Copies of this chain bind each other. A is one copy, B any other.
Amino acid sequence: MTIKDARTPASVQDDKSEEAGKSIGWHKAYVEGSRPDLRVPVRQVHLTNGQSVTLYDTSGPYTDPLADTDVRRGLPPLRENWIIGRGDTEEYAGRPVRPEDDGIKHTSPRGGLRNLDAVFPGRPRQPRRSRDGGAVTQLAYARRGEITPEMEYVAIRENVSPEVVREEIAAGRAVLPANVNHPEIEPMIIGKRFLVKVNANIGNSAVTSSIEEEVEKMTWATRWGADTVMDLSTGRNIHTTREWVLRNSPVPIGTVPLYQALEKVDGRAEELTWEIYKDTVIEQAEQGVDYMTVHAGVRLPYVPLTANRKTGIVSRGGSIMAAWCLAHHKESFLYENFEELCEILAAYDVTYSLGDGLRPGSIADANDEAQFAELRTLGELNRIAKRFNVQTMIEGPGHVPMHKIKENIDLQQEICDEAPFYTLGPLTTDVAPAYDHITSGIGAAMIAWWGTAMLCYVTPKEHLGLPNRDDVKTGVITYKIAAHAADLAKGHPGVQEWDDALSDARFEFRWEDQFNLALDPDTAREFHDETLPAEPAKTAHFCSMCGPKFCSMKISQDIRREHGGSREEIEEGMAQKSKEFAAAGNRVYLPMAD
């Protein structure tokens, strides 16, 4: 495959590359597929030894100095021709946007949007859906044996054959979230035979945050490696915020429609109806939401199972549905109307993320009756969704001690016919608020190694507040570590090349290469310079940790130089060479200026 350079050398120093995290040393490139409009972005890291390393890139056009991006216009509709080309969808008038969609009620004293400027100015567009009401999903195509451009795109990204991608999607072991109304995305795939993915949550709440912040958080999260982003907004301007996020997002966007539906009934769970919920799902499907969390597994008979829990129901959606079920003493309207919901999602290719509304919220509640009762229902719903050709993944916990993690993935894979598992953490202890990216990063790495396909990040603010820009970055980096550690443990082909390249750079004291290969080049460089800021230190054969005398790698290199490189050379050479070595004064370190 040929890699096209996205910039002229001159542009390396421009402020876009500056923006892109001091990207001197790496740049955006594209791998061309079977058609000119199929160009897969990669991150090319150029090493000082002339070699280069190609890394997966989620940052979208924003890191391409040649791309002319404008958040007020939105990203170019990369997939538009592919979608139209299939000829199975059509534009239509669509559902009129109402003030309530943004949580504005005539009763509200404030009224109106916080600022009119918030309305997305980008090009007018009509929503698109299935022409004949049939499924226009990647699952339907895969089952028909079709390899779509989206499938070829992810095959190139994952370095596998397009047929493997088609097979995994057809078998329901992988999903390719791609709403026909979200042509802007760069396709990606979620499944245990592919690279472990990371989701970052954003979203304003009634208490804090603004539209601008959310769009900024989304692009920021993808820059550091988020593979998908969930907009969990619950405050005002919920429709408009989502529009801005969708039009500017290079990655699939997920939502929990129940949150917006609840806003429409003023937060009174018992006033929720199937009609209001359905209307909200259609509203979001028309906007282009790629996957939706649906808590249809929280059934009336399961609610009492949470009564003796230490932390009850900790999923927002789960608690709302439980309250509804009890208020009406009726079975969940999501469970009752699940088949109709499937028909809607199939018409836009919205992927299900079947929510674990009864996930444990504390170590004490892990793997309990309520959690596994819901999981069995999710398995049942997964089979129904597949009948309607709706792509489906299953959400998982939560708070789980290490020795109870494996049971979660094993049970889910068995009960849900190997549908992709999408877990939050799990957090392996409850005692470290402010460090839950770490308590959960531990569990995330383990459960991903054992087969979880996507990890929902947790930021340092979990349990305490809404994440800011720094928290989002910390959460994403922590989860990229967990995902990559899992890819290594799974022996995913080619994955270790990244570690090897960085370790070679480390052993050869190519500091700039170490920085540029790091998951976070900026911070790595900054930490090094804190103690040894001078340029020469960037080529020094030691660092401030050990100083020159104690640099073990320096000593190792001297040994090789003195005694030959290979094991055999060293063995045979050791004896006679030891004398000359001694004579040569064999210093094992660079003398210090003293």
**Chain A residues proximal to chain B, CB less than 8 Å:** 108-110, 205-208, 234-235, 259, 262-263, 267-270, 303-308, 310-316, 318-320, 322-323, 326-329, 361-364, 401-403, 428-435, 438-439, 441-442, 445-446, 449, 460-466, 468, 477-478, 480-482, 484-486, 488-491, 496, 498-500, 502-504, 506-507, 514-515, 517-520, 523-524, 526-528, 530-532, 543-553, 555-560, 562-567, 569-571, 574-575, 578, 581-582, 586-589, 592, 594
Contacts and interface: CB of A to CB of B under 8 A. Distances in A.
B434 A205 contact: no
A555 B320 contact: yes
A75 B348 CA distance: 71
B545 A318 contact: no
A293 to B, nearest CB: 13
4 tightest CB-CB pairs across the interface, nearest first? A312-B556, A362-B503, A206-B547, A319-B555
A503 B310 contact: yes
Nearest to A270: B586
A49 to B, nearest CB: 14
Contact of A499 (B431, B526, B578): B431
Contact of A552 (B205, B315, B514, B556): B315
Contacts of A314: 552-553, 556
A574 B329 contact: yes
B432 A268 contact: no
A304 B566 CA distance: 8
30 contacts: A205-B550, A207-B547, A267-B549, A268-B587, A270-B582, A303-B574, A312-B552, A314-B552, A316-B552, A322-B555, A322-B559, A323-B559, A326-B578, A362-B500, A363-B496, A402-B445, A428-B481, A428-B488, A428-B489, A430-B506, A431-B517, A434-B524, A435-B478, A438-B441, A442-B445, A461-B527, A462-B545, A464-B527, A465-B532, A466-B545
Contact of A329 (B432, B490, B578): B578
B567 A308 contact: yes
A319 B556 contact: yes
A518 B488 contact: no
Given A429-B484, A531-B466, A304 B567 contact: yes
Contact of A578 (B318, B328, B531): B328
Nearest to A324: B588
Chain A interface, DSSP helix/strand/loop, else mixed? helix
Nearest to A552: B319
Contacts of A543: 463-465
Nearest to A491: B403
B364 A496 contact: yes
Nearest to A369: B567
Contacts of A481: 428-429, 431-432, 435, 438-439, 442
Given A269-B588, A316-B552, A327-B586, 11 more contacts: A234-B546, A303-B574, A305-B567, A306-B556, A308-B566, A402-B449, A403-B491, A431-B502, A431-B518, A432-B520, A435-B523
Contact of A488 (B429, B514, B588, B589): B429
A434 to B, nearest CB: 4
Nearest to A565: B307
A366 B420 CA distance: 30
Given A235-B547, A312-B557, A465 B429 contact: no
Contact of A550 (B316, B532, B560): B316
Contact of A592 (B206, B262, B303, B555): B206
Contacts of A464: 524, 527-528, 543, 545
A570 B439 contact: no
A437 to B, nearest CB: 8
A460 to B, nearest CB: 7
A249 to B, nearest CB: 22
A527 B465 CA distance: 7
Contact of A313 (B303, B315, B556): B556
A312 to B, nearest CB: 3
A583 to B, nearest CB: 10
Given A403-B449, A567-B304, A435 B519 contact: yes
Contacts of A556: 306, 311-314, 319, 322
